[in-house]
Amino acid sequence: MPINSFENYPLTWAPVRGNLKYPYYASLANLLEYDIECGVLPENTMLPPQRELADFLDISLSTVTKAYSLCKLKGLVYGIVGKGTFVTSGHSNKTVIPETDCMIEMGLTLPLYGHNQTVAQIAGEVLKLPSAGSLFEYSDPFGTPKQIMAAQKWLSLFGVDAPKENIMIASGAQNALALVLMSLFKSGDKIATDLYTYPNFIGLANMLGIELIGVKGDESGILPDALDQVCKNAKIQGIYLMPACANPTNIVMSAGRRADIALQIKKTGIILIEDDTYAFVSSEQGVPMTTMQSERSIYINSVSKSLCAGLRVAFLSFPDILRKAIESAVYNVNLKTSSLNAEIAAEIIIRGTHRGFIAEKQQEAARRNEVYFKHFPETPKPPNASTYYQWLRLPSDHTGRLFELMCREKNVNVYGSERFRVGEADGKNYVRRATTSP
């Protein structure tokens, strides 16, 4: 059957015929795996019947059968007799690629590990303290007084002055985001985001049945008029932003834009989730939006990239009006981080050791970016010289997923823009390349 006979025909998965290359079954399996990993195909999505897909792509039925079988062996899809083939749960938005000895990692944004030995030394000193035994007991899920004091000190570095009773410690930013979504939102709610945003947030929202609505923006971030229109067209309950350094685009929201968006948030009464994990990469990160719209704002700042990834510690501040819901989630789900990890992070901050960590990581990231721009001089430089990743526009004939697959064949792992996209494609293709990882 000719390909054009499928014009306007609804297929749950419609790969581009031009992206296939010999052997077709392996190429088709790679495309299917990629779209499952990126969340293009959510879990339990029913795939097109094999014969329909074969007709659509103008390839043999056996080629599609072999591709589906290959993905079944990998656990990516499963079949139900008489019903069809479906995407297996737990694979959408997977961002960790199995490592190989020869793979150059430029997809996963790994932190700079140069200070791990210092962290290990401080950990040893903490364990020698007379009070060390208490770190292995049940403790306040919000953190000890010492840990909360350190959290206050850390948050103040980024312009957030939160009362002690309005702070909690989570096991990393992802843990904090899970807590926020579970406590303040429910299945069917809608949250506005940038058109391209943090893929693990996309995965969390998908898992909890929360719909993300992408909002148009420019070089200064989300456009106020676009946000206003989205709020009028859909019942938006919240908005997720990374104003200091957006992942993956590196956009830094201007002071004027932050004020305009904060005004819009206040007018609509939606909840702001401000993720400031990458604020440390710039010495001029700007005033957090939380300080402009504190009544219904959650502020999250993780130390995973700035201090130590293995500690898995993030600090979260919240307003009084949201305290009851957050406390309920903390006690019922028990998302508390390890007391030992929180104590080590607190010791690093209270001693002031964090200042050296941040300064040296900024310098190293900037040095790596200089190397990057030496080889890619045509790429526009982002506002943050010490950013951990770069966002590259691709030619119009290259999708992000196709470029990602091409790189994998050369043993280089990068992430195409489909992993980060919210909503429909905007006709532009990008790739994010981590400069701190290789």
Cα angle 344, 345, 350; round to 5: 100
Provide the pLDDT for residue 90: 62
- Domain range for 377: 104-113+355-434
Q: Is 333 within the bounds of a domain? A: yes
Q: Are residues 151 and 236 in the same domain?
A: yes
Q: Are residues 227 and 294 in the same domain?
A: yes
Peptide linkage before 23 cis (omega within 30 of 0):
yes
Q: Are residues 338 and 362 in the same domain?
A: no
* Of residues 350, 351, 354, 352, the one with CA closest to residue 304: 354
Provide the pLDDT for residue 23: 92
pTM of the model: 0.82
Q: Are residues 214 and 341 in the same domain?
A: yes
Q: What is the CA radius of gyration of the chain?
A: 23
**Domain end among 282, 317, 350:** 350
Q: Is 208 within the bounds of a domain? A: yes
Structural domains of the chain, count: 3
Quickly tell me which residue has 């305009």 as its tokens: 260
Torsion angles phi and psi, residue 433, rounded to 5: -125, 120
- What are the pLDDT tens digits along the chain (438 aa)? 445 555 566 789 989 888 898 899 999 998 998 888 877 888 888 999 999 999 999 999 999 999 999 888 877 888 888 889 998 866 565 554 445 567 899 999 999 999 999 999 999 999 999 989 999 888 888 889 999 999 999 999 999 999 999 999 999 999 999 999 999 999 999 999 999 999 999 988 988 889 999 999 999 999 999 999 999 999 999 999 999 999 999 999 999 999 999 999 999 999 999 999 999 997 666 899 999 987 899 999 999 999 999 999 999 999 999 999 998 888 887 666 789 999 999 999 999 999 999 999 999 999 999 999 999 998 888 888 999 999 999 998 888 888 888 898 889 999 999 889 887 767 788 999 999 998
Q: Are residues 329 and 363 in the same domain?
A: no
